[in-house]
Amino acid sequence: MATGYRRLPSVDRLLSHPAMRALAERYSREAVTDLVRQVIDEARQTVSGGGEAPSAETLAERVESKAKAMWQSGPRPVINATGVIIHTNLGRAPLSREALEAILQAARGYSNLEYDLEDGERGSRQAHIRHLLAQLTGAEDALVVNNNASAVLLALAALAQGREVIVSRAEAVEIGGGFRIPDVMRQSGATLVEVGTTNRTYISDYAEAITPNTAALLKVHASNFRISGFTHAPELSELVELGKVHALPVIYDLGSGCLLDTVRFGLAHEPMPQEAMAAGVSLTMFSGDKLLGGPQAGLLMGQKELVQRLSRHPLARSVRIDKLSLAALSATLLHYVKDEAVEKVPVWRMVAAMEKDLKAKARRWAALIGPPAMILKGESTIGGGSLPGEVLPTWLLAIPCTDLPVGAEGLAASLRASTPPVVARILDERLVLDPRTVLPEEEKILVQAVKGALS
């Protein structure tokens, strides 16, 4: 073992390796020295366990590998060929060109983020978005925070801290990442009062649960699951009427947030914020990076008095939206104002893609890649906890993998190792790539990546 230790190079000797000198020029000698020490310490552990001492060349390669993994800018761009339009693990909604340009404009210098150019005084960052949301939804006022979870937390903390909030047992849900409505309510200081049963809740259940300590009625859209069969839920209008009778605000967590009627795309109807406002809901909220097709944000809107109470709450500053997301959100909402969302917002462009165009695209990829590539009919999904069970017809590029030495998993891993990584699906021992979620500028890169992986 002592001999093994002696074979290990010193830190200074390894730092003199040409690859380490080049690495130190790209980054800094101090940072590279730390990595060299880590690698040599790991090698000592290998020797202490009875293993062979790695050569200086091997140790230098390990340092380079660690540097590549640790010091690359992230998150890295990837090509989403899964067919899942709002892919949470891949960053949810891709932004429009206009939204990207808005981010660049806001980031490259100063902006009037909280400055009123007309009066020459301090202004509000909410002014950039309030009028757009009011115009699109019919709300009296609006407020934007950093995500929908914080929107729910802020609303409950500002309106119901220390008091009770009534919600249907069927709507005390959990969404991705362990976000649970009951847990959020506890954090806000509100007390959850569940009514009804898992599958059937009536307006009378809400009415019977109201006490002098009730602060609000809460409705949560079950955006990521469905309950079917012997079910019942009160109409939104019933809940609003009950709230009026007892002078209680109705809070509606819409989840995904959808400003377009999904029925026109062959999908089930998704509740819309403008419908909630028309029904008289006091306050509604939804995400910015799902069906809206914008950046991560939580959009709150409703009665002016309630929105103002939320904006004055101390928590509002803790969860406020940053300038880059605000710029992207403003540009995204403008697409809806201009009635160009289907053409300009990538999420809606993908949803609206015609089956014949997807087939032509998959066929073109197969021709460029050559055997064993083929095309087959498939299905795309919305994803992101939106429209559960709803699918869109598509055509897939398929690579049969039964005769490949690496198999489907190996081929998928090879694509993930390409630059940029390509994320695909495996279906019946075939690697499949869905053109619906591949951006036009990514097609050539994807084809080359597949050809490289196959070779």
The pLDDT-based confidence of 184 (bands split at 50, 70, 90) is confident
Tens digit of pLDDT for each residue in 27-39?
999 999 999 999 9
Q: Say if CB 321 and CB 145 are below 8 A apart.
A: yes
Same domain, 217 and 339: yes
Give the mean model confidence (pLDDT) for residues 113-134.
Answer: 94
> What pLDDT sits at residue 221?
84
> What pLDDT sits at residue 176?
58
Kindly tell me if the per-residue pLDDT of 223 is higher than 60. no
Same domain, 169 and 316: yes
Q: Say if CB 196 and CB 169 are below 8 A apart.
A: yes
> What pLDDT sits at residue 1?
53
Tens digit of pLDDT for each residue in 227-275?
666 678 889 999 999 999 999 999 999 988 899 999 999 999 999 999 9
- What span, in angstroms and rounded, lies between the C-alpha atoms of 172 and 169? 5
Say which residue the tokens 């009635």 belong to. Answer: 339
pLDDT-wise least confident of 56-65, 140-149, 225-234, 425-434: 225-234
Same domain, 268 and 336: yes
DSSP H helices in 49-146:
56-70, 97-107, 127-137
Domain span at 400: 79-88+347-454
Same domain, 429 and 317: no
Same domain, 221 and 102: yes
- Of all residues in the chain, the percent with pLDDT exceeding 70 is 96
Q: Say if CB 166 and CB 206 are below 8 A apart.
A: yes
Kindly tell me if the per-residue pLDDT of 87 is higher than 90. yes
Tens digit of pLDDT for each residue in 307-340?
999 999 999 999 999 999 999 999 999 999 999 9
Amino acid identity of residue 74, one-letter, is: G
Same domain, 233 and 295: yes
Tens digit of pLDDT for each residue in 386-445?
888 889 999 999 999 988 888 899 999 999 999 999 999 999 999 999 999 999 999 999
Same domain, 357 and 316: no
Kindly tell me if the per-residue pLDDT of 7 is higher than 90. no
CATH number of domain containing 379: 3.90.1150.180
Same domain, 156 and 17: no
Tens digit of pLDDT for each residue in 263-296?
999 999 999 999 999 999 999 999 999 999 999 9
Number of domains in the chain: 3
Tell me whether residue 380 is exposed, middle or buried, using C-beta atoms within 10 angstroms of its C-beta: 0 to 12, 13 to 18, 19 or more. Answer: buried
Same domain, 195 and 218: yes
pTM of structure? 0.90
The pLDDT-based confidence of 177 (bands split at 50, 70, 90) is low
DSSP per residue, 239-262: HHHHHHHTT--EEEEEET--SS-G
- What span, in angstroms and rounded, lies between the C-alpha atoms of 443 and 91? 19
> What pLDDT sits at residue 6?
83
Same domain, 314 and 382: no
Same domain, 124 and 148: yes
Same domain, 300 and 406: no
For 448, half-sphere exposure in the C-beta direction (CA atoms, 13 angstrom radius) is 9
CATH number of domain containing 112: 3.40.640.10
Amino acid identity of residue 438, one-letter, is: V
User: Domain boundary at 325, 344, 363, which?
Assistant: 344
